[in-house]
Structure 1
């Protein structure tokens, strides 16, 4: 009988636990040092907060109770809230075509030209990097004070953000159907129109509703720089030291934001069913 020689395989060495502990300690130390530097740079001071507490109390005494005068406060506030909602809605809707175009050109599943892909990603990055409030300041100097400057600012900034989100959603789908169409001779536009876009429609709508919610909040901030809406009235109240009026406008903003959030949440829930 032939005896088979059994060779013993070498046991792989155990990972060095000490090395992992050292690496973890270095990371923790680096994070602590980073936050220590950040706290120093931002002038975080508990002493300053405690010493300024009286100022906060004075502010609350001036702001409470809110001023609910219908003709001079509540009615203009409601009208301004509607303008703020309109800025967010129009800015979000008008950015959809540009966002879809950039998303298609900037997703690997639909864009095969490396130059077009990189150029589209660069435009997305630029539009996302510039805050909407900076765009609003630019457009206020171009078209003047008012909601139109806010709409233009929302369109540009939201185009970059939504195109980024939508392109990533397009890249996460199953590539099988797209590859099958390409093998059959379909162009990138045909692949996008017949496979990619129909697949990601529910995701697109969910992300669009999320951005509408964010843009309504952004419209409030844009009003502080002259782009109209309830933010303009809040800024005006602060300038006149009418903190009771400001508190009324803030309560209106709270109602507006909650209403938009509930509406978008209900639509997203409906789509998920």
Structure 2
């Protein structure tokens, strides 16, 4: 049986055989999938616009009211009494954010160790810890503040308790994920040497993720200072409470003064956090 001779594939001058690149069979599927994703996103956005009554023309028609509001706010009230009250409230807001962050560390660290697959002693403990973290993370801090205000009354103590609960859930989840991604080498070495679970966590897991834990903690401190401002709007103390009172009494120039103080506070917190990160790097 005669067979036609195969045509040799072209080769480069160096003798390397050149073959054609095979077509990618998944390319049409990817293009079609992207089209479906875009269509679905467009539909979802149309539904969201309708559900939220998103009307840019309403904002344009209300420009006159906004101009009147800004006109009553400028110039800000720079009387010593207002500035003194604003600085005192801003410091209270800072203390709420600080305590809400630092006092949640033991609870977040414990739940992070129990909620990480690499350090949890049992699957049931892992699931329970994850459920607790999910609950604390799912309930907004302002809801916790409303609950604690009814329990301990108005004031910054309710704000601290609210931030402890919510921050425990957020930091615990972030820390547990950092522990799951840690290099397993030191843990295996200690386990081979006969170290117990607590010794492995204390001498290998936590030191291995300490830079990540510190960075996440500083980030959460920034967030908690801003959150404590909002908590003041529901009676949890701080400068947010002063802003709420000035709005209700139509003292918009005083409100603007408090907002300027808040801006200065946030800038100082950001600068301090950046300085600490550079020192720890």
Q: Does 1:154 align with 2:163?
A: yes
CA distance in 1, matches of 2:196, 2:45: 51
Instruction: State the Cα distance separating 1:144 from its structure 2 match.
Output: 0.2
- The alpha-carbon distance between structure 1 residues 205 and 17, as it changes in their structure 2 partners (threshold 3 A), is closer
Report how far residue 198 of structure 1 moved: 1.1
The CA distance in 1 between the partners of 2:118 and 2:29, in whole Å, is 41
- Render the CA deviation track for 1:45-97: whole Å, top value 9, x for unaligned: 011011100010000000010000112x1111110000000000011111011
The runs of 5 or more residues in structure 2 that have no matched partner are: 1-20
Note the C-alpha offset of 1:199. 1.3
> Partner of 2:253 in structure 1?
244
Gaps of 5+ in 1: 1-10
Give secondary structure in 2 for the equivalent of 1:15.
coil
Q: Give the number of equivalent residue pairs.
A: 262
1:20 aligns with 2:27: no
Aligned ranges for residues 1-273 of structure 1 at < 5 Å? 14-71=24-81, 73-272=82-281
* TM-score, structure 2 normalization: 0.90
Q: Report the aligned-residue RMSD.
A: 1.5
Task: Provide, for residues 230-256 of structure 1, a one-character-per-residue CA deviation record: whole Å limited to 9, x for no partner.
Answer: 000000000001000000000000000
User: 3-state DSSP class of the match of 2:53?
Assistant: coil
TM-score if structure 1 supplies the norm length? 0.93
Query: For the pair shown, which has the larger CA radius of gyration, 1 or 2?
Result: 2
